[in-house]
Every structure is written in structure tokens, then in C-alpha cells.
Amino acid sequence: MSKTCIIIGASHAAAQLAPSLRQEGWEGRILVIGDEPYVPYHRPPLSKAFLSGEKDADGILIRPQAVYEKNDIEFKLGVRVETINRAHKNITLTNGEVLSYDKLALCTGSRVRTVSLPGVDLAGVHYLRNIADVEKIKGDVAEGKNAVIVGGGYIGLETAAVLKKLGMNVTVLEMAPRVLARVTAPEMSEFFTRVHTDEGVSIKTGVAVSGFEGDNGRVCRVACADGTGFDADLVVVGVGIVPNVELAEAAGLAVENGIVVDELCRTADPDIVAAGDCTNHPSAIYDTRLRLESVPNASEQGKTSAATICGKEKPYNALPWFWSDQYDLKLQIAGLSQGYDQVIIRGDREGSRSFVAFYLKEGKLIAADCMNRPQEFMVCKRLIAEGTPIDPAKLADESVAPKEFLNG
């Protein structure tokens, strides 16, 4: 009898896991179930090239349809999974269909964190997470009109950069004392504030949004707790994301800030793996458990999950890395900076758009934010992953070539 592997979620992780199953020797049926009408697509361009109109829906597909056809990978799209029955090894869809599995992969990803503020349902107030969201935003973009971004994280800043390029007057409202406060050092926050200000975006920090005011059912103003307000023809709320763990939790799987998996992406159920944003996994590099929101993490866990399903052990222990594109900036982030006790700057952070912020903890390099510095980024990935000791004085010295960092 042919076996069936069902992948829940047409996500980045699924786009890697499904073809990897074939590469690892899975000969049975592979079925991917997704709640959107699309095969897996790249999400990072949504707030950049897709919003700006440089790419269309076909242009952001992770793999062409032909790849899935070649690997005999089936899709059921536009439908959600309602329940997982582990005892009977089947799932029930929202349309009532019941499907049996031999192996199950949870690639359910994450969703936007919503706000429950007055006026949030007004026309013109948007979130940004999928193609449908961005298509709605595009419909409200108009040159010379006012756009307000609620949230000064990477999504908020990327969206602000694109809307500014499209000719809108853009204001970013951030509740924390600085933008990117949760993910980076004050030096990086100051840099991004400077760049956005130079580009004509207004950044307001320490501002709590209290609601959205409308005119004839359409947003016209963003109200703040201190009594101030900002005119708005378009609002994008970007205040983080939440892992989609409810299916796993209802099925009795361990959930703690993500679906709990081991280094082989196994859940507590030997026939169920999980990969991507929705997982909480161990990291040997940082000696802790992590839940990461990144494409590289989803892809690498997809490979590991496929191997595990096929009875092979290929432990996941990749270094976390991320990126963000804004204007002419390409920020590449190697590692995780949480817990740092020292920041070393290489290059002119205040007068240029090319520098590195190195994060150290007890003298050891744990992360690097590389702004238009691809050489340092590649070297830092190796340094951090391998735990290579580095003389901090070398990091700041521009006369020392990045490849020399590898010599300690």
C-alpha cells in the first residue's frame, strides 16, 4: 500500500519539505493543504517588490508549478484543516472532507497580530501578511495622500519606504522609545531613524495609538493616547505576528511559544513533524530554545523534516539569519543579538549607509548587523556558527580585511 504524507500549510517550509521528501526517497503520496488560492510564495517581497508593483503574484512564487508536477506533489488550496485526529491518523477539513495520513507535517506558519482598537474595521485600515492584504493596500495607494504605519518594526519600515517611493506622505508611529527596539541596538535604531527622516518619512516614537477615526466608513485620522492625531488616507498596522499553533494544541501536542520539536523537527507524536515560524526548536549554537520568524529557518527545517519522515537523521542546527531591504539599504543579519553586552561599530554609521554593528557577549561574537556589507556578513555567519574567537579590536579596524577575522 502506498503511504501518504500530508503537509498542512502552503508555506515556505512546505515549499522545501515537499520536494525534499522526494529527494530523501519518499515514494508515496504527497499532499499540501493551503488556505490561500496560491502554491507557496515568497512573503518578504510582499512589503517590498510586490507592494511597489515590480513583481506580480507569479513573480514571487517560491517554485514554479512545474516543479511540483514533476515531483508528483498534489495541492488542495483555498481550504483549511479544522482538526487533527492522531488516534485515527486523519484530518478533517473545513469543507467536511476527512483525509487519512501516514505521516503529517505541520507547516502552519504565523499570522498577523491584530489590534482591537476603535475604528480598526474602517475601510483603508490594513494588515500586511499575504497577497490579498497587499492587493487591498495597493488599491488605497495614491500619490500625495497620507499613509500612517502603526509599528516601527522591519515590516513597518519596509512598507514606509515603498509607500514613500510611491509618492505618499508617510508617518510611522511606534509605541516604544525607538524603532526596532525589540530586535536591535540603539545604534541601529538611530541609523534607521536618520535614513527614513532623510528620505522624507516622519518617525514618531513613544506614541500609543488609541483608535482610528472615519468619515463615511473610511479612515481619515489616527488618534493617539496623548490626544494628538494624524491625518490618514491609508493605514497599515504592523505590530508583529503570532504562530499558528491552535491545530497542534487541540491535537494534544506540546506547545510553548510554538509547536515544541526536537533537533530532528519531531513533535511528541512520532508520525508528526513541524517546520517553520510555528515551531519552537533547540539551538545548540545559543544553548537555548528558539522560535524564529525567518525564511532560512523554514527552509532548513523543511529539509530536516523531510529526512526525519524518511527515517534519516539530519539534525537542524543552522545559524539564524535574516535580511531587510529599505531604499538603497540591504541589511543582512547574522545570528541573534539578544543578551549582548557590547556593540562594536565598523564603518561610518552616522555619515554613510555602509557599516557593521557587531554584538558581543562576554567577549564572544554572537551576532552582526551588516548594512550594505556582504563580505562581513558571510564571514560573520561562519565565525558565529563555528564559535571562532575574535579579537574585538580587529572588528572595528577597517584596515583589517573581513576574511582575516577567521584567523582569530
In this predicted model, what pLDDT tens digit does every residue of 166-189 receive, in sequence order?
A: 999 999 999 999 999 999 999 999
What is the pLDDT at residue 56?
96
pLDDT digits (tens, 9 = 90+) for 257-295: 999 999 999 999 999 999 999 999 999 999 999 999 999
The pLDDT of residue 336 is 97
Of 192, 208, 239, the residue that ends a domain is 239
**Left (φ > 0), alpha (ψ -120 to 50) or beta: where does 227 sit?**
left
Mean of pLDDT values over 51-69: 96
The reply to whether 159 falls in a domain is yes
Query: Residue 392: inside a domain, yes or no?
Result: yes
| pLDDT at site 221 | 98
pLDDT at residue 249, rounded to an integer: 98
Contact 309, 26 (CB under 8 A): yes
Query: Residue 307 corresponds to which cell in the numbers above?
Result: 529526512
Residue 166 falls within a domain, yes or no? yes
The pLDDT of 121-133, averaged and rounded, is 98
Report the mean per-residue pLDDT for the chain.
97
Mean pLDDT over 243-254 rounds to 98
Indicate if the alpha-carbon torsion angle 193, 338, 278, 42 is positive or negative: positive
**How far is it, in rounded angstroms, from Cα 210 to Cα 223?**
6
Residue 320 lies in a domain: no
Neighbouring residues of 389: CB distance < 8 A, sequence distance ≥ 6: 364, 408
| Residue 318 belongs to a domain | no
Residue 116, domain member (yes or no):
no
pLDDT digits (tens, 9 = 90+) for 135-170: 999 999 999 999 999 999 999 999 999 999 999 999
Find the CATH number of the domain harbouring 253: 3.50.50.60
Residue from 260, 44, 71, 194 nearest 134 by CA: 44
Evaluate whether residue 317 is within a structural domain: no
Compute CA distances 210 → 20, 182, 222, whole Å: 47, 21, 8
CA angle 41, 171, 330 (to 5 degrees): 45
SS3 label, residue 195: helix
Whether the pLDDT of residue 1 is over 80: the answer is no
Query: Could you tell me the end-to-end alpha-carbon distance of the chain, in angstroms, rounded to an integer?
Result: 56
Query: Under 8 Å CB-to-CB from 169, ≥6 apart: which residues?
Result: 144, 145, 146, 147
> In this structure, are 56 and 101 located in the same domain?
yes
Alpha helices in 97-200 (DSSP H): 131-140, 154-165, 186-198
Same domain, 281 and 213: no
- Residue 408's pLDDT band, with cuts at 50, 70 and 90, is confident
Could you tell me how many residues make up the chain? 408
CB distance 140 to 234 below 8 Å? yes
Question: How many domains is the chain partitioned into structurally?
Answer: 3
- Per-residue cell: 113: 497580530
- Residue 93 phi, psi (nearest 5): -90, 165
Say yes or no: 226 and 129 in one domain.
Answer: yes
Rg (CA), the chain: 22
39, 137: one domain? no
CB burial of residue 285 (10 Å; 0-12, 13-18, 19+): middle
Domain identity same for 249 and 292 = yes
pLDDT of residue 407: 86
Instruction: Judge whether residue 55 has pLDDT over 70.
Output: yes
Residue 308's pLDDT is: 98
Domain that holds residue 388: 328-407
Tens-place pLDDT, residues 307-358? 999 999 999 999 999 999 999 999 999 999 999 999 999 999 999 999 999 9
